[in-house]
Chains A and B, each alone.
Chain A
Amino acid sequence: QVQLQESGPGQVKPSETLSLTCSVSGGSISVHYWNWIRQPAGNGLEWIGHINTVGGTKYNPSLKSRVTMSVDTSTNQFSLKLTSVTAADTAVYYCARSNFLDYWGQGILVTVSS
């Protein structure tokens, strides 16, 4: 049973960098694309981007200038960095597997506030 778990700070100051990690268990990270999605409170879902282990990344153009994703096969983890955050980046952040998002983490609320 594949499981994903997000971790990272629950609060980030404006203009700083949001950093999250997703730990994958029950399956190899060397297969599939690995995604980040976010959902502001009471709103819909926004795809941030994804990465695979051969270094292939695709980012949402709306966030591309601020997003970096990386993957570590030795720890079965992948990560998200989002720079220059504002209040508009406050959301629940999810990690998920594959293009059709077949497995999701439980989500982590990140609040941008001073």
Chain B
Amino acid sequence: DIQMTQSPSILSASVGDRVSITCRASQSVSGWLAWFQQKPGRAPKLLIYKASTLKSGVPSKFSGSGSGTEFTLTISSLQPADFATYYCQQYGSYPITFGQGTRLEIK
């Protein structure tokens, strides 16, 4: 299985900040990487797929980059609605696997 490791696990930030979350794969997943946002009691929502393609309707404040084994999700100008847990997911190899999650909390 490909192990996905996110860092940091917890990220404290303020409204208006720009933050980045890193996801590392234990082996190359090429560009087959997605990012999700999850709020308590809700299903995850897709933000980005194929490493850097924004899902239709997702604000451009979210951006993704990377390929191979290292990927980054960047969120600019944080707003209260952005404080949530973020997951990466690789779909380049079976089984599909997720990172452990990064909780973005208000400082």
Contact = CB atoms under 8 A, between A and B. Distances in A.
Interface in B46-88: 46, 49-50, 55, 87
B55 A45 contact: no
Nearest to B33: A100
A62 B96 CA distance: 12
A27 B44 CA distance: 20
Contacts of B87: 44-45
Interface string B15-40: 00000000000000000101010000
Contact of B46 (A58, A61, A100): A100
A1 to B, nearest CB: 11
Contacts of A105: 43
Range of interface residues on chain A? Answer: 20 to 34
Contacts of B97: 47
Interface in A25-53: 35, 44-47, 49-50
B91 A99 contact: yes
B100 interface: yes
A62 B1 CA distance: 10
Contact of A102 (B42, B49, B100): B49
A11 interface: no
Given A44-B101, A45-B87, A99 B45 contact: no
11 contacts: A59-B95, A60-B95, A94-B43, A99-B32, A99-B96, A100-B46, A100-B89, A100-B91, A101-B44, A103-B46, A105-B43
